[in-house]
Structure 1
Amino acid sequence: MSKEVRNKDLVIIGGGPAGLTAAIYATRAKLDMILLEDQIVGGQVRNSYTIENYPGFKEVSGSELADKMQEQAEALGAEIDEFDMIEKVDFSVDPKIIETTNYIYKTKAVIIATGATPRKLPIPNEERFSGKGVHYCAVCDGAMYENKIIGVVGGGNSALEEALFLSKFASKVVMIRRYDYFRGEKSTLDEVMKNPKIEILFNEDLVDVRGENFVEKALIRNVKNNTEKEIPMDAVFGYIGTEPKTVQFKDYINLTPNGYIITDELMNTNIKGVYAAGDVREKQHRQITTAVADGTIAALEAEKYIVESKRK
């Protein structure tokens, strides 16, 4: 059975802060647009327990902020389609083609805002214990470990923030940090250092996890003297960076060796009419505010491109 072909001015791929912001601007510009999201709208921000650095909110949960962004976009008339998987794209033609499970979209412009996913822990038993003690989302899975010992691997803001969140459930949180310093904000680090339920193991690296059906122990190695030891552990949560979701675009879009999309400051990719915004883009800082800024610029540039193309 052939798929319905839908013609659009703009297709936004990805429903995180960058994509939702782009949708708000595109809708206000009266563009015929749709936002495609293969999961629940909100992106990684939805997994944040508390956000304290987004202007206008002294404190807000990630899910609440995501909901407000989505509600604003939809109230303006944005069309959002969740859980429709993209099967393939063709950016070599005009209009560009995006084929999903249900439709074929032909569009003048595209904004890629697919974001990134947590990088998996590089340990032998990662796959075996995935969901059985190895996790990457504290908000999603932390409550499973009430009064248990939880490990957190990483050294940035995410690791620090999630350690604080997990301390609400755990009897003890053990931060495993391969260096003798953290890269997170000092205010968050101060909270972690003062928390009596959090223990920090500096200069230690997670080598593997062990157990029968679920994680029971963690094997760690001291990076200075190379000695190894096992410690009791019911779960480990990894926060060692992210990997961009760009596999579907690699045949058309220029990427860095790490897979991030290369753009200029106006969010232009190497393909005219295709823009990238948010965490999927190569840049120095990845924050909610920078994603929102990217989405704004991408939508404004896409609008200009679409208007000019209609004049031809």
Structure 2
Amino acid sequence: MNLSSHPLPTTVVGSYPVVKAGGLRGILDPFRGAVETAVADQIRAGIDIISDGQVRGDMITAFVSRLPGIRAQRVIGRVEAPPTPLTVADTRYALSRHPKVKGIITGPSTLAHGLRIDTPTYRGRAELILDLAQALSAEARALEAAGATMIQIDEPIFSTGAADLVVGRQAVDMIASVLRVPSCMHVCGEIGGVIDDVLRVQVSVLDFEFSESAENLEVLSRRDLKGRSVGFGCVASADPGVESVETIQKRIEKGVEVFGPDQMILDPDCGLRMLQRDVAFEKLSNMVRAAAAVRAEL
């Protein structure tokens, strides 16, 4: 999987602080300026694989608000793919500014647990999850066709104990199976209790927190990843402080000891949406500097 010309490429989990445009542009599209700002900041920070910033809503509403069969986070009928893609326009803009952009999809299980089923169409959440996977597969194909370097599927709910991991794995695999570009699954939090199920998912990259969930490094050090890459969260996205380059560098070096530099893709633990813009930018910039420092030592 050749995602970069150098080891330890940097990326983001996805979201970035929302900085809306004012004036007429803000009236016509209040989030276009936020997309432009997020993309520009990631490029200025030196990120290798950027995102569109995921600025048009939280990870649930940004997807379900336009899916047929869903109204105001209530499932009222059969869920189907939307007539037009949900995130491709912003991804295309990012691609017009940078050669490598990650397409991002909220996973079927995480979406399903943010919805209330108000229709006899579904006898339970498992059926809804699989229909969501079918609908999101169309979005994944559209992102790939637009030129996305990789497609990330976000399933933060997998680590909480609330998800049916058998159905959840099947749903993620449905999406990943339609792709030719590398697929990635991001799971937040501590993964020790779910690692066996998570490792069965058929994706190219497994992305986890390692700065605020340092025990994940020990968990994975005892597992066979079968040659897959690890998205290595080395910046604490929930911490409003900016870690020093040296702190991030030490985290990366611990990861290199376990995985080796060629198996790692560096990113924050999670999205940066809840941080101030200057904090988010400095975190990304310091991560890039730390990655360069580790590369220089290899």
TM-score scaled by length of structure 2? 0.31
TM-score scaled by length of structure 1? 0.30
Structure with greater strand percent? 1
